[in-house]
Every structure is written in structure tokens, then in C-alpha cells.
Amino acid sequence: MATRTHSHVRPEPVEGRAPGESSAAQDALALYVHWPFCVSKCPYCDFNSHVREGVDQDRWRQALLTDLAFEAEIGPKRPLTSIFFGGGTPSLMPPATVAAILRDAERRFGFTPGIEITLEANPSSVEAARFADLATAGVNRVSLGLQALDDEVLRFLGRAHGVEEGLKALETAQACFDRVSFDLIYARPGQSEAEWAMELERALGFGTGHLSLYQLTIEPGTRFATLAAQGKLAPVDPDHGAALFELTREMTAAAGLPAYEVSNHARPGEESRHNLTYWRYGDYLGVGPGAHGRREGVATVRAKKPENWLSRIDSQTSGIAEEERLDPATQATEALLMGLRLEEGVSLARCAPAIDPAAMARLIAQGLLERKDDRLRVTPGNVLVLDGILGALAI
């Protein structure tokens, strides 16, 4: 299961903290740990997930610890503000492995007070049985891949759980963890506004403080992409998708979980601090197959295939396949692409090298962007055309 990238007034790029950026955004240090294995591959999924008959758990635990030790040796020397176990299906990890990684991370980096430690989980009864042990290991936030509240739709999405099993897992998660989020996929073929409104209303009634609500997209290389190419699966009409998107924002805001990012909704204070580190372009370390990192201006990518990653661990004590120092213009562009996804927008000073000043002025005059002091954000109601805004804005 896997759940799912600032402006051109042209001051020179600023080293360290840019004016207008909060200390929290610049000082954050996140750790991402990728567990690549799944029981089966979902037809819509293009994440780095793999199905294997068996996994040598002792070898994988030690390899992840080795990859982590490498990052601790060369990475930023400050405490971690968040940790995220993603995948794949990290709820298939033995709780002892999670505990070992957390112990080692705390020993090597230190934890900030109230650190957020999230683990993605499938809502199956087998994995829910591990929730108490995962909480004991140190996980304090879980993200459940419910994906739908209809058994027929879950079968269409290739999910192994049913609605009843998923809701029992949600109940178990709420009893075990301080914070719970879950994912739903909407804009599915044939889904009406009324049907989505009923499903979302039910979801909002479960009382979690965070929801990730994604429109179904047909990603290259997936089973759904093959079906679409064969004419056996028709993507939702863009105008209908837009109507569902606006309905989603209206309903979540009315329920006290407004959108703080394109697809993420939370009660104030319950936003995903880990994902905010990405969107605010803070430093994050990535370990495990296919994991990406950004640390102090250096981009890292781990080997994607599990066996290749293990070979690199054995030969070079890290899974890194690519490493590149990013120039200030590239960093500014990445910060712009990530930050304009947020309702809070981006710092102009930080993103100056990436923005065309004339285009920014034009987009502000058209009502697509708004500027307040150092902050630039997409105006309410125009997130749907974010790609077009970025295409016009970025140099």
C-alpha cells in the first residue's frame, strides 16, 4: 500500500534561512524509511512496491540500520522532528524492526520534543493485530489505506480488505495511536457527486483529525494504464473531477478539516508535520529502496529494486544510487513547485531565482495568485489550475 513540490521578485538567493521563512520550516529534519514489500500490487499504484515470496527480516533490519548510520555520519547534525515509515506496506514490518530503527535514530540524531512518528498501514485484521506493538515501539501516528467505503469499489481497486475489516482496523488504530489519518480515492469511474458526498460524509463521521483524499489518476506502467489503453477503463471527465474536488473542499471545511494542501485535510494542529517538511522544502533524509532525500542542498536517491539496494548496502554501506548537489536556482524551483501546493503559500525571498516577475504580476492581476508581504499563494478556488499557474510562473 503506498499513499501519496516560493517567487520572482529577484533578491539574490539567501544562504540558510530565507527572510519570511519560519524557523520551524528551516530547522526541521525529517527521516523517511521505505519498506518496499506488499502482499500484492494494486492496479493503480506506481509507488516503489514489490511482491516477494519471502523476506529475510534479520538481513533487512540490519541493512536499514546500516543505511541510517550512513546518513547520520554525513547528514545534518540536529534532532529529528518527524519520522515516516512508508512503502510498500510498512505495517508488514516486524514491530521489532520498527523499534530498532527508532532506537538507533534517537541515539544517532536525537528527537525533538513531541516528535511525530508515522507509519503507513493496510487496514487488514492481520496488520491491525500489530498496532499495539507498533505503538509500544514508538509509532504515534498511523496512516491507513482504507481507499474506499464500498466493497465493490475496493475489489475494483485491487484491495485485499473489505469495508467491515477496514473499519475494525480503523477502530483499533484509534485505540492504539494518538493520531490517525486515512486515505480515500475518489473520482472513480461512474462515481456521482451524490455518491461521493455520502461516502465522504460517512468518512468525516469517524472522527479522525486528518484525511488524505486523492483523485484516481491513471499512472504510466500500472495495470489501470494498460486497461485504459485497451479502452476498458475510462478516466473521469475533467469537469466532473473538478466538481468532485470542489465538493470535497466544501465538505471538509464545513466539518472542521480544511484543506491545507492540494489533497490533504486536517483539523488545525493535526497536519502531517512530516509532509509539511517536504512541502516547505526542509531537509529530509531518505533510507531504504527508492527513497529520496534532500539534505543541505544535496539530493539523494537510493537504488529502487530491493535486491540492488541490498547489494549497494553490502558494497558501499549505503543504498545511494544517485547523489547531486543542487544549485540555488534548482533549489528555488523545487521549493516553488512544492510550496505552492500549500494553502499558506511560499516565501518569495526563498524562491526568487525560480520566478518570472512579469508573469507573477500578471497572475496576480488575473486573480490567480495573491501576495502578502513575503508570501505568495494560489488564490482560493484556483488550486485546480495549479499546473498551469506553475507553468506560467516558473522560469
- Read out DSSP for 332-344? HHHHHHHHTTBTT
State the chain's maximal CA–CA distance in angstroms: 59
Q: Hunting for cell 473489505 — which residue is that?
A: 162
Pick from 112, 117, 71: which is nearest to 294 by CA? Answer: 71
CA distance 231 to 83: 41
Q: Sort 369 into a burial class: Cβ within 10 Å, 0-12 / 13-18 / 19+.
A: buried
Q: What is the pLDDT of residue 9?
A: 24
Q: Which residues pair with 142 in a beta bridge?
A: 119, 180
Report which DSSP code applies to 394: B
Q: Sort 44 into a burial class: Cβ within 10 Å, 0-12 / 13-18 / 19+.
A: buried
Q: Sort 347 into a burial class: Cβ within 10 Å, 0-12 / 13-18 / 19+.
A: buried
* Residue 183 CB-half CA count within 13 A: 21
Question: Cα 364 to chain center, whole Å?
Answer: 29
Domain with CATH 3.20.20.70 in the chain: 29-279
Peptide bond into 290 cis (omega under 30): no
Q: Please name the helix (run of DSSP H) or strand (run of DSSP E) that holds residue 331, with its range, or none.
A: helix 328-339
The answer to whether 85 and 99 are in contact (CB under 8 A) is: no
* DSSP code per residue over 11-50: PPP-SSSPTT--HHHHH-EEEEEEE-B-SS--TT--SS-B
Q: What is the pLDDT of residue 4?
A: 36
Cell of 193: 457527486
Q: Which residues contact 327 (CB under 8 A, 6 or more apart)?
A: none
Question: Cα 206 to chain center, whole Å?
Answer: 22
pLDDT tens, residue order, the chain (395 aa): 433 322 222 222 223 333 334 555 668 999 999 999 887 767 767 677 778 877 899 999 999 999 999 999 998 999 999 999 998 889 889 999 999 999 999 999 999 999 999 999 989 878 889 999 999 999 999 999 999 999 999 999 998 899 999 999 999 999 999 999 999 999 999 999 999 999 999 999 999 999 999 999 888 988 898 999 999 998 899 999 999 999 999 999 999 999 999 999 999 999 999 999 999 999 999 999 999 999 999 999 999 999 999 999 999 999 999 999 999 999 999 999 999 999 999 999 999 999 999 999 999 999 999 999 999 999 998 999 999 999 999 99
Q: What is the pLDDT of residue 67?
A: 98
Q: Which residues pair with 169 in a beta bridge?
A: none
CA distance 42 to 156: 10
Report which DSSP code applies to 209: S
CA distance 9 to 351: 9
Pick from 296, 260, 299, 259: which is nearest to 276 by CA? Answer: 260
Q: May I ask the CATH architecture of the domain 29-279? A: Alpha-Beta Barrel (3.20)
Interhelix angle for 386-393 vs 328-339, to 10°?
160
Q: Which amino acid is at 241?
A: G
Question: Cα 348 to chain center, whole Å?
Answer: 24
Q: Which residues contact 356 (CB under 8 A, 6 or more apart)?
A: 8, 392, 393, 394, 395
Question: φ, ψ for residue 339 (rounded to 5)?
Answer: -70, -30
Q: What is the pLDDT of residue 14?
A: 28
Q: Are strands 346-347 and 375-378 parallel, antiparallel or unpaired?
A: antiparallel
The answer to whether 393 and 359 are in contact (CB under 8 A) is: yes
* DSSP code per residue over 317-330: SS-EEEEEEPPHHH
Q: Hunting for cell 526542509 — which residue is that?
A: 282
The answer to whether 45 and 389 are in contact (CB under 8 A) is: no
